[in-house]
Each structure stands twice: as structure tokens, then as C-alpha cells.
Amino acid sequence: FFFGLLCAMGSEGYAILDLPAGNVPSNDRKVWVTAVGFTVMGVATLMLRDPTPTALAVQAPGTSIRPGSTASVYGVPNRAAWQVQGSRLGPGARTTARTQPDPEGDTSLDWQPQLALQAGPWANLHKYVLMAGVTVAAILSYIYRRNGMSLAVAHKPDYVAMASSTALKAAKKGDAGGAAWDLEAFSPCKINIFLRLITKREDGYTNLASLFQAISLGDTLKFKLLPEDAEADEFQCNMPGIPLDDTNLVLKVVNYMRRKTGIERKLRISLEKVVPAEAGLGGGSGNAATTFWAVNKLFAQLGAEEYSQVELLNFAGELGSDISFFFSDGTAMCAGRGEIVIPVPRMPPTKVFVFKPAVGLSTPAVFKAVVWNDTGVIGDINDPFTGDPDTLLINFAYATPDVSYAAPEDFINDLEAPAFSLVPELKALKDELLACGFRAAVMSGSGTSLIAFGEPEGPKSGAQIVEEFNARPDMKAFAAEFIWQQYDDDMNALWYAK
């Protein structure tokens, strides 16, 4: 608090301090030591702000800046983290252990505590005060390296320093230190190749028949068992707006598994989101399924029974409609309200392109807009020549060389019409994708993402089209492909991998 307040007083100063909430107990006396160290640093930078520009960065040893993350840089917002090269050095200044990007493509940087101080009239005296503050902060950042601590100060646009806890990537480096996680898992999302509504149900849900497919677009979940005396879980997520309390499916799953196993051990969980929300991609359901799988493994290490994936599938149906799917091989027919998972053979490997406009739709709103016929059955669901789910499944299974070569009319989603009626822009987006040369496009789930299948038959590649759509301020686009679970030599499922 004092550090931020003091640095904010400098008219040209900039400061950011990230110490993720919940990672350090409020009654820990080291918190006060941290505050004192940062206050010393704040006083020094305030005294040095004019006429001596300063730049300072402190980061936990053993951590690295994640490629592609957004860092806060004075005068240069949103610059990629690895492009920041620190300030000019004056007499008495020093900097340590800055590595360059890996020539083989790893663009992460390993940062050690560093100091850059431009010489000035007060530098000979106050640089030692500043160095003392840096030393305290560096020691404390090492103490808290498991949590990820970051700190930055900058004065004047020409002297930049950066740090952001959202840019920290915990890296297990053996005895070299760093925030080692007990388990890290890829959390895929799903698409609906087709979705047919069958009948209304008395409980308010709808019986459906849909071909689900896991794709390589996904999130990353990391888990660590906390010490036995920890009193609460620690949950963090990089995406604003994601709830961090017990309403989040990830924590619901953790608490569910505690009731099942009797294990009360608390966890530190990091969720790195990529899959957009309100997209019909089941990103939250994938997170829940991945948490089931991971917590099952971790609690088994503590003596609990390790459940099979079939048992986890049954557990998942109690918490959400789409969660169960992810315990299939990666391709499945889902029925009921989505919790009934019927294994089917893998579809031909296929590239897909996901287009998500900024507008979102709630699933209840889309279902409410469905127009049913007099018998409570929508459309031509019983016609074996046009919309029967079994016929559609066969058509896609035998499409060659990939799913995109199935008949365009087989890509049916009965929720498209109600969604398009609520957001006409979605229909325009689908028409635009088809005009780009994609052989087929269909809305996934209840929207609002559109899925294009296969490489387009036009002058531009799928990657070029994705790049152009991503340039629009109201659109996100991704290239992906079908994926399936991995297995060991004994055919034990090893979960998904990107």
C-alpha cells in the first residue's frame, strides 16, 4: 500500500505490485516485512524521481515470463513481455542474469532480481537506499517464489521496468527453485458436429442427440497440494470475470471429490483460460472434467481410492450436462440432456476453425426461443433421409478424407434458428464463412461460436482467415483440430494433450 501510494505521488512515476490474494495468510509476519521493504523502495524512488529517472524490476527467481502474455510497461502498454530490455545503467548500477530467447523457439525469459539506476545529483547517496530495498524485495520474492511475486517501478518514459503476476509461468526446475506444481493438465473444449433436439422433458430440460468432438483449443490447469495446516484453497485465473469462489465449477468439483474421498487437503489451483465464455464450446465443463481427473490422481496419492474414468463420468453427470463427455475417448454421441455418453468410433482427423463474436447468449435464452411443432418434436428428426441422428453419425464417420467433406446439409444444429433470431449477426457470420470457401460451418452448442470445417477452397488459407478475423475488435478466431485421449502401453487413459 505504502509503496504504491508513494510511487503514485510522482507525476511521471509508474508502479505496479502484484501479490496474488490468498497466497499469503494475512497473519503471516513476513507480510509486514514485505511491506517495510517495499516502503523503503517507494521512499527511495520518490526521492529519486527528479531529476534522476529510475527503473526497477524484481521477480521471483526460478520463474519465467510466459510468451504471449501482456505486461504493463510505462509508456508502452501491452508490449510482449520478452521485448522489454530494461533501462540504461548509470554509475553504481547493476543488473543480473538476463537470458535471451531460446534460438529453438522458446521465447520465455528467466529474470533474476535486477536494478537499473540512472546517475544523478542524489544517486551517490540514495542508490544505496534503493539497493537495500531491492535486496529486501529480492529475498522476499525468493521466499514467496511458489506464489509468484512481481514488482516494478519506472520513472520517465525512457526508463522502463515491467512485472505482472499474470505474466509469471511457474516452472519446475528441480533444485534450481521455482514454483513446482504437482500436476499440470490440458483442458480441451468441445464442438458439436451436429445437434438435434428430440423432445421436451417434464423437468424443463430437453432431450437431445449430438455428436461431440474434443478439439485442441483449450485451457491449462495446474494443481498443488498445500501444507496440511492450510485452511483454504487458493484459486487464481487469468481471465477477468471468471468467479473465484465456490460457484466456479473447478472448486465445485474439488469439494465434491472431498465428500467422496474424505480427503480434506487444500489445493492451490491455477486456471489459464484461452477458451472464450458463452461460446457453446464447453470450456467450463472441460475445466470441471479435468479437475475431476486431476484431483482423483492427487487424492489417490494421499491414500484415497482412485476412481476409474467410468466412475468419474457418472460423478460428472451430477454437476453438469456436458462434463461427462470429456471422459469419453474424445468422440461421442451425447443424449438425454447431454449427460448420457455413448462411445462411437473416432471421426477422421479434421482441421477446424473457431470464430467467436463478442456478443454472447445464455443457454436458457436460446432454448426458450426454440419453436416446437404440435408433437413436441422439432423439425425432421425422425426422417432417416434428412435428420435422423444415427444416419448423420454414419455419414460423418465415412466422410473422406475428413469430416469437412460430409454433405453440407448434415451439419445441423437445431439451436441455430433460435440463436440467429436473437442475434441476426450470427447468421451473417455463417454466410461470410461459407463465402470464404469453407465447405461447412455450423454453430457449436447454444452459441455463439461458429465452427468452420477443413481448409477453405478459396484463395486464402484457414490461417490467413483466422488472422484477418482476429484483427477485428469484436471477434476472436482460433485454428484447431480434432484430438482424443492419450493412452499408455496398457491402454490406461492418460487424459488429453494439446
User: So which residues are the catalytic ones?
Assistant: 190, 322
CA 55 to chain centre: 31
Work out the burial of residue 145: count CB atoms within 10 Å of its CB; fewer than 13 is exposed, 13-18 middle, 19 or more buried: buried
Please, what sign has the CA dihedral across residues 50, 52, 53, 58? Answer: negative
Is residue 186 within 8 A of residue 220, CB to CB? The reply is yes
The stretches of 16-111 forming alpha helices (DSSP H) are 29-48
Q: Residue 68 in contact with residue 80, Cβ under 8 Å?
A: yes
Residue with cell 479437475: 291
Residues 6+ apart with CB under 8 A from 281: 189, 190, 191, 217, 275, 354, 444, 445, 449
Residue of 1, 7, 93 whose CA lies nearest to 42: 7
d(CA 274, CA 437): 27
Contact 477, 463 (CB under 8 A): no
In terms of phi and psi (left: phi > 0; alpha: psi -120 to 50; beta: otherwise), the region of 492 is: beta
CA end-to-end distance (rounded Å), the chain: 41
